[in-house]
Amino acid sequence: MVTKPDSFTPFDEALAAAGLSDPWVHGRDEAAAYQPDYGLLEQLLTIPIAANKGWATGALANGVDSWLAHELRRSGFTPDEVWPRATRPRILPRDVALLLEKLPRDLSNEVRAKVIAMPAIAPTDAKILGRAYEKQVDVAIARWDRGPELLLSTKTQVSSFGKNLSNRFEEAYGDAGNLRSRYPLAAVGFFFVQRSTILTQEPDAYERTVDMMRKLRDLGGANGYTATGLALVSWSEEDSTVKVELDRVPEDVRPEQFMTRMIEQVLAATSVSQHVDVRSLIERRELAVTEEDETTDLP
C-alpha cells in the first residue's frame, strides 16, 4: 500500500537499511555499556542539511527523533511500541498495529488506509497530558494497559546559542515538572543537539549548556528529567556531510549514558515478564520467562 509522504519520509530508506544491531557492548555481569549508532545519526542529519532544510523547518529535529526511536528499537523494544514508528502511521497504538498485522493483506491495507485518515487513532504528533498542560513529546513508548513508559523531548540549536539558551532551559525545566508530576514512574528525558560552532563562536554558551544539562536532571524531588543527553554535530558550507563530534562532550552528558539511564528506568518500572527482549539484551542472557502479553495468530 502506498501512503503519502510525511516529515519523516526522507529518513525511511536510511533507517530500513541500517537494521537493528545489538547496541550493548558489555559482557554478562558487567556494568551496562551502550554504543549508539553514530554513523546512522550522521547519515540522517546529512539528509536535511544537504537539502538546505535545517532547523528552521524542523527537518533536523525530525532526523534526531528518527534516530532516537531507532536506537530504542535496537535496544529490543518492538517496532510498534516506539513512536515515531519507522513507517506510516508514525503514531499508532500497539494493539491496533498488532491487529493490522494479523488481518489478511487486502483487508489490512483497507483498514490501514482508514486508520491513517483518522487523527483520533493515528495522530501526527504524540500529545501527552501532563499535570498542568498537554505536551507534545518527540519520542515515546506508551500503551493503553501501561500508560506512558518513556517520554522524550528533543531540541536542536545551530546558531544564536547564548541568546536562546535561557528560553531552552526554562521550557525544558517546566516540561520536566509537568510530565514527571503526572507520570513519576515513566522515563522522561531531554536530548539536545547543538552545532559544534558553539565551541568557537560562543564558548561561554557551551559551558552554560553543559551546566544546564546536569541541572535539568532529577535530584530526588521528582521534578527533573530521568536523564539528559547532549551531542555536537558539524558541517560546512562546502561540505554538507554531518559529523558527530563528542570529544568536548563530558562523559556524564553524552548520548551513551542517556540511552542507558532511560532504558534502565523503563525496566525498573515494569515486571520481569515485560520487555523481555530488552532485558535479555542488556543482561546478556536468555531469561526464563516469556513476554507477558505474547500474541498468537488469530483464527
Question: Lowest mean pLDDT: which of 38-42, 93-97, 225-229?
Answer: 93-97
Task: Encode pLDDT of 125-161 as tens digits.
Answer: 888 999 999 999 999 999 888 889 999 999 999 988 9
Cell matching residue 42: 550522521
Q: 187 to each of 30, 36, 142, 200, 222, how far by Cα in Å?
A: 23, 18, 11, 34, 11
Confidence of residue 48 (pLDDT cuts 50, 70, 90): very high
Q: Please check the confidence at residue 87 and state whether its pLDDT lies above 50.
A: yes
Global pTM value:
0.92
Task: Encode pLDDT of 151-164 as tens digits.
Answer: 999 999 998 898 88
Task: Encode pLDDT of 262-282 as tens digits.
Answer: 999 999 999 999 999 999 999
Question: To the nearest whole number, what is the mean pLDDT of the chain?
Answer: 90
pLDDT of residue 298: 45
Q: 35 to each of 25, 87, 116, 263, how far by Cα in Å?
A: 7, 24, 34, 13
Task: Encode pLDDT of 5-45 as tens digits.
Answer: 888 999 999 999 999 999 999 999 999 999 999 999 999 99
Cell matching residue 174: 517546566
